[in-house]
Structure 1
Amino acid sequence: MASYRIAAPDEYLAITGMGIKNVKITKAAWVWPFQRCVRFSVQPHDYAMNLQAMTKEKLQFLLPVVFTIGPDVNQRGANTRRFGSSVGAGGEEEPGDDYRSEDQGDALMKYAMLLADSGNTGKDANGHQFVENIIKGIIEGETRVLVSSMTMEEIFTEREVFKRRIFRNIQTELDQFGCKIYNANVKELKDAPNSVYFESLSRKAHEGATNQARIDVAEAQLRGNVGEAKRKGEQEREIAKIHAETAVQKTERDIERASAEAVLATRKTELNRDVEIARIAATRKTEAQDEELKREVQIKRAAAEMERLRATEVVKATIERESQQQAADAKAYQIEAEARANYEKQKQDAEAAAYKTKQEAEAWSAAAIQKAEADLQRRLKEAEGLAAMADAYARLGQALGGPAGLLQYMMIEKGTYVELAKANAEAIRGLQPKISVWNTGAEPAAADAAHHPPTTSSIATMRNIYQMLPPLMTTINEQTGITLPEWQFGRLAGQMSQLERSENQPNGKK
C-alpha cells in the first residue's frame, strides 16, 4: 500500500527503490510499494577536541577546538528540478535529467550515503558515533598537518589566518561527505604534558608588566616630588613677598610720622636704606633657595633615571636569559628526539642483523651437519677399503716371507728401483769429477818392521798423511775454489819436522 510520509522540520526523507535510480531526498513524498524510506536528522552537532600537535620547531602543545558541523542543507545540486527534466508519478525522474555523478552534487545525498555506510539511520546513536569518528579524524589530521607547517610565532601572531586555514582545509575534506562547518572556535593554547612553554611565556609577560608598573610608579613619584617642591617654593616666595610689602607699608607709615618731625629725617633715610638692604637680601635668599630646589630636583631626577635604567637592564637581562633558556630547551628536545630516532634505527638494524645472522647460522649448521654426515660415510667407506687392503697385504707378506719381502715386492712392482737409478743418474749427469790417486810409498818390509819399533811406523803414517795434503788442497781449490792459508802449511811442516827429528834420535833424546 502507498503511504504519504512527511519529515519533521529538522529531518529529511531518503527514498530508494522502484522508479528511483539513485536516492531521492525530500521533505514529503508518497512511498510506493517496492520503495524504501528512511528518515535522517540534519541537526548540527558540536565536536569538542583537545588536540596534541607539534609545530615546525618540534614544540608540542595542546590545541582545544570546538567545531559545529552538520549536513549542508543549502547545497542540493542536481537533485533540484533542472531545465528539461520532469518527475513522474512515483518520484522517478524521466529522461532528460543531467546526471553528473552518483550523488549529483547533492550534499544531503552524500550525507545519506554516509549514514548508509554505517548501517544505521541518523537518529541512531551508532550512526551518529560513526559520523563523529569520521569528522573527528578529519579535524585531527588536517589540524596536525597545518600546525606542523607553521611556527609557534606564526600561530600566535596570525590567529585569524590560522583559524581560516583550518576552516578551509577541514571544509574541503567534509565536502565529500555533504557536511558543513557552521562554527569553528579555537581556544587558548595549552602546554602539553612535560612542557612549560606557555607557562614560561606567561611568567615572562607577568614579570614584564610588573617591571613596567614599577617604572610607572617611580616616574609618578618623581613628578609628584617635583610638583611638591615647586609649590613649596612658590609658597615661600609669596610669603616673602607679603613680608616685604608689610615691611614697606610699616616703613611708609613711619616716614609719614617722621615727616612731621624734622628730627626724624635722618632716621627715615636709614630706615629706607635698611629696607633696601633687606629687600636685596630677601631677593638673594629667594634666588639661593630656588637654586637649591633646582639642585635637589636634578638629583632626584638623576636618581629616578638611574632606577629606570637599572630596571631596563634587569628586564633585558631577564628576557635574554629566558630566550637562551627556551633556545636551550628546544635544542635539547631536538637532540633528544634525534638520539631517540637513532636509537630506534640502530635497534632495528641490530635486530635485522641478528635475525639474518641467526638464519645464516642455521643454514650453515644444517649444511655442516650434512657435510659431516657425508664425510663420515666417505671415511667409513675408505676405512673399509683400507681394512680390506691391509688384510690382503698381510696375506701377501706371509706368502713373501715377511714385511721385508713384501716391501721389496712392492718396490719392484711399482718400479721404485728403476726410478732410484734414474734419479742417481740424473743427479750426476754433466759432472766432470777429477779423481786423484796418491801413493806416498810402500809400507816397510817385514824385516824392516822388525828393526823399527811401532812408534816409527806411526810417524811414517803421519808423514804420509801430511804429504797427501798438498795435492788434496790443490784438488779442493780446483773443484771448490777454497785455498788453505800458507802460514797454516808452514806451521804443519815445522811441527812435522820436529816430530821426525825427535823420533830418529835413540832413546828419544834430542
Structure 2
Amino acid sequence: MYKVASASEYLVITGVGIGDIKIAKKAWILPGQYCTVFDISPVNYTFEVQAMSAEKLPFVLPAVFTIGPRIDDDDSLLKYAKLISPHDKLSHHVKELVQGIIEGETRVLAASMTMEEVFRGTKEFKQEVFAKVQLELNQFGLLIYNANVKQLVDVPGHEYFSYLGQKTQMEAANQAKVDVVEARMKGEIGSKLRDGQTLQNASKIDAETKIVSTQRQGEGKKEEIKVKTEVKVFENQREAEVAETNAELAKKKAGWAKGAQVAEVEATKAVALREAELQRQVEVMNALTHTEKLKAEFLSKANVEYETKSLLPRMR
C-alpha cells in the first residue's frame, strides 16, 4: 500500500530490502515490510529536580523543558526513530529518559558549586545545565527547543534561600538607612558648600568684572587711538596721493603748453615760409611777364626797323 505522513509526522519503514530503517514522508509499503508513524512535534516536560550543593545543602530546581527531535539532521532523526519506535512520545519511557538526564547533569553540576555560587550565578548555572543536558540528548537525536527554569526553591527543613533572602533584605534595608544618613549629611554639607561657593563666586565675579571692565576700557582707548592713528595715516596718504596727482597734472599741463607753443611757432614759420614761397613764385611770374614784354617790344622794334630798311630802297 502507499502511505503518506502528515506535516508533523514521519514514516519509519523496516523489513525486506531495508538494511536498518528507512525514514520518509511518503512511500510504498511492499510485502514483507513494516511501517510505523512517529510524531516529531516537541513535548513539554515539567520537573522539580532535587540537587545538593558542595556544602551538602539540598535545593529544588523547578524547570520546564520543551524537547523534540532535531529535524534538520538525518542522523538525529534516525536516532530518535529508534528511540521512539516501540513507544509513544508521551510514554513514561521517554519522559524518564529525559528526566534522568536532566536530574543527573543538574546534580553533578550543583555538587561542584557552593550554595552561594549557585545563588549568585543563577543565570550561569542554568546555562551550564542546559549545555550539559543538550550534550547528552544529542545521542538520542533530541533538541532543547526552549527551557525555562524558575527561581531556586528550598527543600522543607532547609530554608537556606529564605534566610539568604532575608539576609539580603536586611542588608539592603541597613544599607538604605546608611545611604539615607549619608545622603542627608552630604545634602547638609553640600548646602553649606554651595552657600560658601556662592559667596566666593560672587566676590570672584565682582573682582573679575572690575578687571574685565578696566581691561575693556583700556582696550577701548587703545582701539580709539588705533583708529585715530589709522585715520591720520590714511589722510596723510590721501594728501600725498593728491599732491602727487596735482604735480603730475601740472607737469602734464606744462608739457601740453610747451607743445602748444611749439606748434604755434611751427605754424607761424610754416605760414611765413608759405608766404615767401608764394612771393617768390609771384616775382618769378612777374619777371617772366616783364621778359616776355621786353621780348615783344624788342621784336616789334626790330620788325619796324626791318620793314623800314626794306622800304627805303624801293622808295628811291
Superposition deviation, residue 226 in structure 1: 4.8
Structure 1 residues 46-445: aligned runs within 5 Å: 46-76=44-74, 106-118=75-87, 121-122=88-89, 125=90, 128-226=91-189
SS in 1 for 2:78: helix
Superposition deviation, residue 214 in structure 1: 1.4
Superposition deviation, residue 220 in structure 1: 3.0
Superposition deviation, residue 234 in structure 1: 11
Give the share of equivalent positions with the same residue, in percent.
47
State the Cα deviation string for residues 34-85 of structure 1 (Å, max 9, x = none).
2222111111112121111111111111111222211111221xxxxxxxxx
The higher relative CO (CA closer than 8 Å, separation ≥ 6) is in 2
- Indicate which of 15, 23, 26 corresponds to 1:25: 23
**C-alpha distance 154-214 of structure 1, shift in aligned 2 (>3 A):** closer
- Please tell me the root mean square deviation across aligned C-alpha atoms, in Å: 2.6
Structure-1 separation of matches of 2:194 and 2:98: 72
Structure-1 separation of matches of 2:135 and 2:195: 74
Which ranges of structure 1 fall in alignment gaps of 5 or more residues?
Answer: 77-105, 236-510
Q: Which amino acid aligns with 2:114?
A: T
Matched, 1:37 2:35: yes
Structure-1 separation of matches of 2:10 and 2:149: 31
TM-score, with structure 1 as normaliser: 0.36
Structure-2 separation of matches of 1:45 and 1:189: 23
Superposition deviation, residue 228 in structure 1: 6.1
Superposition deviation, residue 223 in structure 1: 4.0
SS in 2 for 1:22: coil
Contact kept in structure 1, 2:10 and 2:39, CA below 8 Å: yes
Superposition deviation, residue 129 in structure 1: 3.0
State the Cα deviation string for residues 242-281 of structure 1 (Å, max 9, x = none).
xxxxxxxxxxxxxxxxxxxxxxxxxxxxxxxxxxxxxxxx
Partner residue, 1:366: none
Superposition deviation, residue 233 in structure 1: 9.3
State the Cα deviation string for residues 150-180 of structure 1 (Å, max 9, x = none).
2223323444443343223222322222212
Partner residue, 1:7: 5
Q: Which amino acid aligns with 2:126?
A: K
SS in 2 for 1:52: strand
Structure-2 separation of matches of 1:107 and 1:231: 72
Structure-2 separation of matches of 1:36 and 1:111: 18
Contact kept in structure 1, 2:42 and 2:68, CA below 8 Å: yes
Contact kept in structure 1, 2:38 and 2:85, CA below 8 Å: no
**C-alpha distance 226-143 of structure 1, shift in aligned 2 (>3 A):** closer
Q: Which amino acid aligns with 1:185?
A: N
**C-alpha distance 21-217 of structure 1, shift in aligned 2 (>3 A):** same
Structure-2 separation of matches of 1:224 and 1:159: 38
Structure-1 separation of matches of 2:141 and 2:48: 25
Structure-2 separation of matches of 1:199 and 1:21: 58
Structure-2 separation of matches of 1:203 and 1:50: 24
Superposition deviation, residue 193 in structure 1: 0.8
Moved more, 66-75 or 222-231: 222-231
Q: Which amino acid aligns with 1:219?
A: E
Structure-1 separation of matches of 2:191 and 2:139: 75
**C-alpha distance 229-66 of structure 1, shift in aligned 2 (>3 A):** same
Structure-2 separation of matches of 1:151 and 1:224: 42
SS in 2 for 1:20: coil
Structure-1 separation of matches of 2:190 and 2:109: 57
SS in 1 for 2:21: strand
TM-score, with structure 2 as normaliser: 0.56
Q: Which amino acid aligns with 2:108?
A: V
Structure-2 separation of matches of 1:150 and 1:170: 17
Superposition deviation, residue 33 in structure 1: 2.4
State the Cα deviation string for residues 360-398 of structure 1 (Å, max 9, x = none).
xxxxxxxxxxxxxxxxxxxxxxxxxxxxxxxxxxxxxxx
SS in 2 for 1:169: helix
Superposition deviation, residue 232 in structure 1: 8.7
